[in-house]
């Protein structure tokens, strides 16, 4: 270090007064603010609400685990990969319902993600205000429709349409016809996935639109400065810039699709068998709980049904945990 250059300051006393940050003053102001009655009341309410929420979550998990203990004691972990549900033989397996849950959720995401992101991009970037505003309100109204109404609409309106037109049409398409073999009955895994897609579409659109709106204006201007059209700006600048928010929307939509029960139970056919085609009827964890819980006759059967709820809760928690890890890895700052 040259002799005419002063060494860097290492203590607060060595820093010139004009360059000091008034940390003590800020801390004192915060202390005075929290010392007020309103500040103390807010802090108490905040911690009280957090404590109540944590207690309810713990009580929910503990009660479900205790109620399903008899089921896991009888079936063990084989409950997860046994495909037979026969209370008369005291054989209980959740494999059929797990497969049905994952398949219907996958079909719903395949349909809802591109449509949701495309709709959000259109409303946020391309549509005029006079059109975007009423369409946004309409999508929000779809989110407010109860699940049983969507399920009844799927049962009364979509089921005959799928049986007569949609399912036979898919059976004639080369390559993908392998996924649509078998008789066209109407109630099927495909119809359940379509109903789920309708239900999660408002979530995808609303959250994706928020993520797209949060992209910096400089990114849009830079893309326009390079000569990009409006669609090119959206496709190459806006959507990639909102990737983390869109992924969060997909995770939340997936959680909604995994846990849906009423609407799915009305259109899936409720057949406890492994589906070999998207046209086959099937069952999910949620629909199985709806169908079985009212007819339980023994304590073991009741515990087995509650075990299905525990499995569904575990799958949902696992999906959300993996999603949070992926999102955090995306936004983690690079260390150079």
Q: How far apart are CA 324 and CA 320, in angstroms?
A: 6
**Which residues are paired to 86 by β-bridges?**
91
C-beta separation of 216 from 189 below 8 A: no
CA distances to 92, 120, 179, 283 from 96, rounded to whole Å, are 11, 35, 18, 7
Q: Is residue 28 part of a domain?
A: no
pLDDT of 245 reads 85
Count other Cβ atoms within 10 Å, centred on residue 191: 30
For every residue of 111-172, DSSP letters joined together read: HHHHHHHHHHHIIIIIS-HHHHHHHHHHHHHHHHS-HHHHHHHIIIIIHHHIIIIIHHHHHT
C-beta separation of 291 from 320 below 8 A: no
Q: Is residue 58 part of a domain?
A: no
pLDDT of 269 reads 86
pLDDT of 210 reads 86
Q: State pTM to two decimals.
A: 0.79
Q: Which stretches within 214-335 are classed as H helix?
A: 217-225, 230-233, 239-241, 243-259, 262-267, 285-293, 299-331
Radius of gyration of the chain (CA): 27
Q: How far apart are CA 264 and CA 330, in angstroms?
A: 33
How many independent structural domains does the chain possess? 1
Whichever domain contains 221, its CATH number is: 1.10.3720.10
pLDDT of 335 reads 42
Residue 211 lies in domain: 74-331
Record the tokens describing residue 286, joined without a space. Answer: 């949620």
pLDDT of 108 reads 93
Q: Which stretches within 145-242 are classed as H helix?
A: 147-153, 159-161, 167-171, 189-213, 217-225, 230-233, 239-241
Q: Is residue 11 part of a domain?
A: no
Residue found under tokens 């004009």: 18
Closest CA to 83 of 72, 98, 96, 97: 96
Residue found under tokens 């409720």: 270
Count other Cβ atoms within 10 Å, centred on residue 250: 21
Q: How far apart are CA 54 and CA 187, in angstroms?
A: 40
pLDDT of 331 reads 58
Tens digit of pLDDT per residue, the chain (336 long)?
455 545 554 444 555 555 555 555 555 665 665 556 666 677 778 888 889 989 998 998 888 888 888 888 887 888 888 778 878 888 888 889 999 999 999 999 999 999 999 999 898 888 888 888 888 888 888 888 888 898 899 999 999 998 888 888 888 888 787 888 878 788 889 999 999 999 999 889 988 888 888 888 888 888 888 887 888 888 888 888 888 888 888 988 888 888 888 889 889 988 888 888 888 888 899 888 888 887 777 788 888 888 888 999 888 888 888 877 777 776 554 444
Residues making up the chain, counted from first to last? 336
Q: Is residue 52 part of a domain?
A: no
Q: Is residue 59 part of a domain?
A: no
CB-count burial class (<10 Å; 0-12, 13-18, 19+) for 30: exposed
Record the tokens describing residue 212, joined without a space. Answer: 């797209």
Q: How far apart are CA 184 and CA 167, in angstroms?
A: 6
Count other Cβ atoms within 10 Å, centred on residue 323: 17
Closest CA to 128 of 230, 246, 240: 230
CA distances to 101, 289, 295 from 73, rounded to whole Å, are 24, 19, 22
Residues 6+ apart with CB under 8 A from 236: 223, 228
Q: Is residue 25 part of a domain?
A: no
């Amino acid at each position: 270090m040259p002799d005419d250059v002063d060494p860097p300051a290492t203590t607060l006393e060595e820093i010139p007064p004009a360059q000091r940050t008034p940390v003590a003053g800020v801390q004192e102001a915060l202390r005075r603010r929290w010392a007020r009655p309103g500040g103390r009341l807010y802090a108490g309410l905040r911690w009280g609400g957090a404590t109540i929420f944590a207690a309810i979550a713990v009580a929910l998990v503990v009660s479900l685990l205790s109620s399903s203990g008899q089921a896991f004691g009888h079936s063990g972990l084989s409950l997860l990969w046994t495909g037979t549900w026969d209370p008369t033989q005291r054989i209980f397996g959740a494999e059929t319902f797990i497969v049905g849950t994952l398949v219907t959720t996958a079909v719903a995401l395949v349909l809802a993600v591109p449509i949701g992101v495309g709709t959000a991009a259109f409303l946020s970037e391309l549509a005029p205000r006079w059109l975007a505003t009423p369409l946004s309100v309409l999508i929000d109204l779809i989110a407010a429709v109860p699940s049983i109404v969507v399920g009844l609409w799927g049962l009364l309106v979509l089921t005959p349409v799928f049986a007569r037109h949609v399912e036979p049409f898919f059976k004639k398409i080369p390559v993908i016809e392998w996924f649509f073999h078998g008789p066209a009955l109407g109630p099927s895994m495909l119809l359940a996935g379509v109903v789920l897609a309708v239900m999660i579409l408002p979530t995808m659109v609303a959250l994706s639109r928020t993520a797209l709106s949060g992209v910096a204006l400089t990114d849009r201007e830079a893309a326009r400065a390079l000569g990009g059209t409006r669609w090119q700006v959206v496709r190459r600048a806006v959507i990639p810039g909102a990737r983390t928010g869109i992924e969060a929307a997909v995770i939340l939509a997936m959680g909604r699709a995994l846990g849906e029960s009423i609407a799915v139970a009305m259109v899936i056919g409720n057949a406890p068998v492994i589906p070999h085609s998207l046209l086959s009827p099937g069952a999910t964890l949620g629909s199985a709980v709806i169908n079985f819980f009212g007819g339980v006759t023994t304590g073991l059967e009741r515990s087995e049904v509650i075990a299905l709820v525990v499995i569904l809760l575990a799958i949902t928690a696992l999906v959300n945990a993996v999603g949070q890890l992926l999102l955090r890895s995306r936004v983690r700052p690079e260390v150079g």
